Chain A
């Protein structure tokens, strides 16, 4: 691997996003190196979800741009190398579908318009369901899942995408300790396979254990870099401002 500019999986340049009049993200410059497991940390309303959505192209920024490596290819091919795990609360789980149906949606991007999933896609879906420990739930209706199981179904769906860069919005929300460990193992496995994973994370105590790269944001990027270099009290204080005192015991 060459260590030039190409070793960044995602480069964000001067990104500003606003809903109504108020900016939610202000002049974000961010470089995410390839093959890193990166946490995005910040207080509520800091723009973590917005940052992820903007990088995925789900929002139109006021200014700025997001670059991926080798994005000169056509839109479809390049979107296929990006995986997305949304917050599980973002959809209606009473939708008439089985776990397998939802996981199969991960391959829709590769298939493109009109084409239907084939046997190979089914097998892939089964394999990923097994990975997240949900294989016995494959034919279960999705309304019967618990919060943690919903989260794992979304994770399996993203794995089916077989992307190079993954964006995950709070994959540990409402998940028990055991499931959290299983998910972390999965993330580390992704990293070992050379994938880049960006995770919105809330639990400051586990950042150092789970991740090797961290971005602290609150409207703007406070710091971004290796966990052992930038994840210290001073930066956390800057990120959380008023609540900084409460966090002293954590780090």
Chain B
């Protein structure tokens, strides 16, 4: 217990926990929309495709600042999204194939570039490896500031255009028939999802980032039938697993933070899928059993006149 209290007072822990919580909160909110738009996989594609951008930014600008590297990630993530969309639009290749294709090419390119950087003398890898699996311990105060600023802008936009995003996510044709520009809405929402992915890269890495985007939303969907409750729950799940994952990795030696956070959110997903009332698997089994029993007890004579 004393170690736990000591941990809470630790400055590094505070910084990392705050960062992870912010990341969970933002990806929880944006992930809800990604999941409802059936773009969960796109998140995976964008995060993997961010890797060459990170390395290229370092090679071209020779700068290790997180903002610069993340800017590179943003550019290559958007470029990958653009490729995927144009392949689907201009050929007979389906979305999932286009996604897998672009994602693996970008990720492969990222690894090649990373090996190249390793060979540059004095570069000491520049700590770029942290973007593969994430390294929350490298979070600095200024990184947190960056996340907080991006997060506030995203949340403000969601609150402002709540009605439009809801309508567009549910029925985009109807939104357009009402005179809303679906092009603008689509662009805005996709861009916001990409930003949410990019700011989480340093903490959980390109491979696990899609879990941070999708899991909180999937778990939250199990518990509610209202969009705003889903988004709220999703952000709470994300933030909570960020803090718990960080605490776990601080108390257990050699437990990496990013994967710990992902394990934590995955546990929440499993519990939600099994136990949530209404949509949960166990509740459904119970309902079926009860109906069977009721039917038996009532005598099983269906009140239907025979022809």
Contact = CB atoms under 8 A, between A and B. Distances in A.
B48 interface: no
Contacts of A84: 173-174, 177
Chain A contact residues: helix, strand, loop or mixed: mixed
A17 B149 CA distance: 46
A113 B161 contact: yes
A98 B166 CA distance: 12
Interface residues of A, number: 33
B163 A91 contact: no
A102 B169 CA distance: 12
B254 interface: no
B116 interface: no
Interface string A65-102: 00000000001100110101010001110011110011
A95 B170 contact: yes
Contact of B163 (A57, A76, A111, A161): A111
> Which interface residue of A79, A108, A115 has the most chain B CB atoms within 10 A?
A108
A86 B36 CA distance: 19
A114 interface: yes
Contact of B179 (A53, A90, A98, A109): A109
Given A114-B160, A116-B163, A91 B178 contact: no
Given A95-B36, A97-B226, A114 B161 contact: yes
Contacts of A12: none
Interface residues on B, range: 20 to 34
Given A95-B36, A96-B230, A57 B176 contact: yes
Nearest to A52: B177
Contacts of A114: 160-161, 163-164
A80 B179 contact: yes
B14 interface: no
Chain B contact residues: helix, strand, loop or mixed: helix
> Which interface residue of A57, A75, A101 has the most chain B CB atoms within 10 A?
A101
Contacts of A157: 174
B226 A90 contact: no
B110 to A, nearest CB: 34
Nearest to A157: B174
A196 to B, nearest CB: 16
B224 interface: yes
Contacts of A113: 161, 164, 180
Given A96-B225, A109-B178, A102 B163 contact: no
Contact of A91 (B170, B176, B177, B230): B170
B174 A105 contact: yes
A86 B176 CA distance: 12
A90 B225 contact: no
A231 to B, nearest CB: 28
Contacts of B166: 97, 101, 105
B171 A91 contact: yes
B179 A58 contact: no
Interface in A24-79: 53, 56-58, 75-76, 79
A58 B164 contact: no
B248 interface: no
A211 to B, nearest CB: 22
Nearest to B37: A92
> Which interface residue of B174, B221, B227 has the most chain A CB atoms within 10 A?
B174
A79 B225 contact: no
A86 B226 contact: no
Given A84-B174, A91-B171, 17 more contacts: A56-B177, A57-B176, A58-B173, A75-B179, A76-B179, A79-B178, A79-B179, A84-B173, A95-B169, A96-B225, A105-B174, A108-B164, A109-B178, A113-B161, A114-B161, A114-B163, A114-B164
28 contacts: A53-B173, A57-B177, A58-B176, A58-B177, A79-B178, A79-B179, A80-B178, A82-B177, A86-B171, A86-B173, A90-B171, A91-B170, A92-B36, A97-B226, A98-B226, A101-B166, A105-B170, A108-B175, A109-B178, A109-B180, A111-B163, A113-B161, A114-B161, A114-B163, A114-B164, A141-B225, A143-B225, A161-B178
Q: Which 4 A-B pairs have the closest CB atoms?
A: A109-B178, A79-B179, A141-B225, A84-B177
